[in-house]
Structure 1
Amino acid sequence: MNTRKACGFLLLLALFCLFPGNASGASVTLTGAGATFPLPFYLKVFDQYHLQTGAEIRYQGVGSGKGVQKLLAREVDFAGTDIASSREEGTSGDAFVRIPTCIGAVTIVYNLPGNPRLRFTAEVLADLFLGGIAVWNDPRIAALNPNVPLPGLPIQVIHRSDGSGTTDILSEYLSKASRAWREAMGAGKVLRWPVGRGTRGNAGVAGLVKEISGSVGYVELIYAMGNDMTFGQLANRSGRFVAPSMESIAMAAETAKHTNGNRSLTDTPASAGYPVVGYTWIVVFKDQSSRVGIQRKTAEELIRLLYWITHEGQRYAEELHYVPLPRAAVLQAEADLRKITFQGRPLLKRRR
């Protein structure tokens, strides 16, 4: 057995010791729904967890808003969301626990002849999405990209039509950095876009941008990388134009190094940080026995899965262009997992 496999086995063994009762997920199926922002990461870790435990995890990428609705309706065991608790209805009270799972970035993707790497400020990007900038060779875009031959193509905005954490992260950044956007749109998972065409999911936006010449949209980094799409550089708070990368995302995440995983990562003061970065979370009921018909072994498997994602599962983040959780966020996740109960008793036991 090699060292990596041995470490994985020992961590899984230790994880099982944290729980009373059932130590095998072979007969357990967990269901979840929500964010598409972390979907590639979730598909990877759910598959790896299944290989190690036998537990089956079924996840629907329906968007953060719809996922939380499904959780509230007791249709799923957990919801995936990228929306900060302060702006997410129904999940900010004591009845829910939010566990951060990884960190990602929202990229600005577009379809232009030659696909040049363009620069955008928050003000120019906001005006573009608001419809004030209607063609690609607009003087404001040209001024930021003096050596790029810009076409006179009309700009076609592609945006999310569903309740989207990706929209929430982007709009939070624009609300902080652009007064025009803040006053016209604000931050939220669903926006009343004045221009453009809406579609569902990160994959939907990526697909339309690839299809439509002159289009622009926004997707999580893995969707841009996986579809070989060109994405822009954004001006951060320090005035530097930064492209999304593992390094620039990690620099933004450094501002949360000593926080609990609930802090906003948009428009941070990191001098080399990419400005549109965010946590993504899994949300569960604090009292698992409040869900009619749930068995204790299912609740135990859910908490075991979340513990595994925030520990061993983090090693799968970087290969999919996500940044692993800071140590402080992992420690807070452990503390929050201990708050989750079944019939008044915690499901996760403390290490001795």
Structure 2
Amino acid sequence: MGIMSRFLAAPVLAALVGFGIAGVAPAADISGAGATFPYPVYAKWADSYKKETGTGLNYQSIGSGGGIKQIKAKTVTFGASDAPLKEEELKQDALVQWPMIMGGAVPAINVPGLNPGELTLDGPTLARIYLGEITKWNDPAIAALNKGVKLPSTAIAVVYRSDGSGTNFLFTNYLSKVSKDFDGKVGAAASVQWPTGIGAKGNEGVANMVKQTAGAIGYVEYAYVKQNHMNYAGLINAAGKKVQPEAKSFQAAAANADWAHTPGYAVILTNQPGAESWPITGASFILMREKVEDPAAAAEALKFFDWAYKKGGKEAEALDYVPMPASVADMVRKTWAEHIKDANGKPVHAG
């Protein structure tokens, strides 16, 4: 299945039947719901894990907001969200949160005469494009960043995500960090009011609109760009270095983040320090309850996530996701042992 059809079909399929056959899943199966972005890798992990252990995973790919609602309502063993909850909300609902997998957003472009990665943008210039202030590809601000590159006078067609999403949150969070003007006029959220451009639904919608529109720019998940051989722009990161979207630049962003001192691991991996860091990197998070009503189900879920950290890296990379660094996985295991417990206060995961 191609990447487009894979992402198009995944949420519908997962919402209906999970990773097994509806109605016949064994009682030991793990239940979860939430973000659509990590669905393909969770599905792949679930398939391998079931072959190895016999335990299945039923994951409803219904969006981050839905996953948060379901874990708060105690209807699933875990929830998944691309935007981490803040410390206050975690405490209020007695939830434990950790990062499971990483990806990122990439400026996808359709500019005649340019090869993938040949064009370079920086954050402030990208923000001005999305504010409608830069309207031609040969604008002096873009030309100054691309000396020696022949830029056409083609009009820029801005494309944005019309639906609320973790990708929207990631992109607007980055632009808000690098542009006070963008922060004041648009701000960072899963859904915002864009001052200019054409809206399209989902990563597939934005990708298709960019491909069909001469002069277009959109922001699309890394996997879409790579597997569909889309044209894209490189970026200048917080260290002032030109970087390309690739596994090592996503890993660099994660490695330079201060996971240990951030409550709930709620690190937003945008504009991280480091010479190799891709500036629009993001993690997808798992949420579980501190005090679990079904210790056996919680233990099975944590065994699965532990397995994924240890053995799921190659499968994640094959699908163009970026595994969490081992140092972060080790911190997360300690968090499980300290904070996820049964009614008697006993940890449900041995560590």
- Give TM-score scaled by structure 1 length: 0.80
User: What's the counterpart of residue 311 of structure 1?
Assistant: 310
Equivalent residue pairs, number = 321
3-state secondary structure, aligned to 2:46: helix
Q: Helix, strand or coil: the match of 2:260?
A: coil
Cα RMSD for the two superposed structures? 2.7
Residue 11 of structure 1: aligned partner: none
Is 2:262 the counterpart of 1:282? no
Question: Residue type of the partner of 1:310?
Answer: Y
| Percent identity between the two aligned chains | 35
Distance in 1, Cα, partners of 2:76 & 2:162: 22
Q: Distance in 1 between matches of 2:124 and 2:344?
A: 51
For 1:199 and 1:69, how far apart are their aligned partners in 2? 25
Residue type of the alignment partner of 1:160: R
**CA separation of 1:156 and 1:149: change in aligned 2, threshold 3 A:** same
Quote the residue 1:129 is aligned against: 130
Aligned to 1:329: 328
Given the alignment of the two structures, is residue 244 of structure 1 paired with residue 239 of structure 2, yes or no?
Answer: no
1:255 matched residue in structure 2: 256
CA contact (8 A) 1:34 1:60 kept: yes
Q: Which amino acid aligns with 1:82?
A: D
Partner of 1:49: 49
Kept in 2: contact 1:258–1:328 (CA 8 A): no
Distance 2:280 2:121 in 1: 12
* Residue pair 1:287, 1:340 contacting (<8 A) in 2 also: yes
Please list every run of 5 or more consecutive structure 2 residues that lacks an aligned counterpart in the other structure: 1-24
**For residues 208 and 343 of structure 2, what CA distance do their matches in structure 1 show?**
46
CA distance in 1, matches of 2:204, 2:78: 22
Q: Which runs of 5+ in 1 are unaligned?
A: 1-24, 290-294
Note the C-alpha offset of 1:138.
2.6
Deviations 1:119-152 (A, max 9, x none): 1111110011111122333332233223333334
Q: How far apart, CA to CA, are the structure 2 residues paired with 1:187 and 1:30?
A: 33
Letter in 1 for 2:106: T
Q: What is the CA–CA distance in structure 2 between the aligned matches of 1:76 and 1:168, rounded to whole Å?
A: 24
Residues 303 and 229 from structure 1, CA distance in 2 versus in 1: closer, same or farther, beyond 3 angstroms?
same
Deviation of 1:229 (Å): 1.0
- Tell me, in whole angstroms, the C-alpha distance in 2 between the residues paired with 1:90 and 1:64: 15
Q: How far did 1:108 drift?
A: 0.9
Deviations 1:187-219 (A, max 9, x none): 222211112233343333223323333322112
Provide the C-alpha distance between the structure 1 equivalents of 2:332 and 2:179, rounded to a whole number of angstroms: 33
Partner SS, residue 231 of structure 1: coil
Give the Å deviation of 1:90.
Answer: 4.3
Instruction: Check the 8 A contact 1:238/1:271 in 2, yes or no.
Output: yes
Q: TM-score, normalised by structure 2?
A: 0.80
Give distance in 2, aligned partners of 1:75 and 1:131.
Answer: 43
Alignment of 1:1-352 (within 5 A): 27-86=27-86, 90-91=89-90, 93=92, 95-116=94-115, 117-256=118-257, 259=260, 261-289=265-293, 296-338=295-337, 339-346=339-346, 348-350=348-350
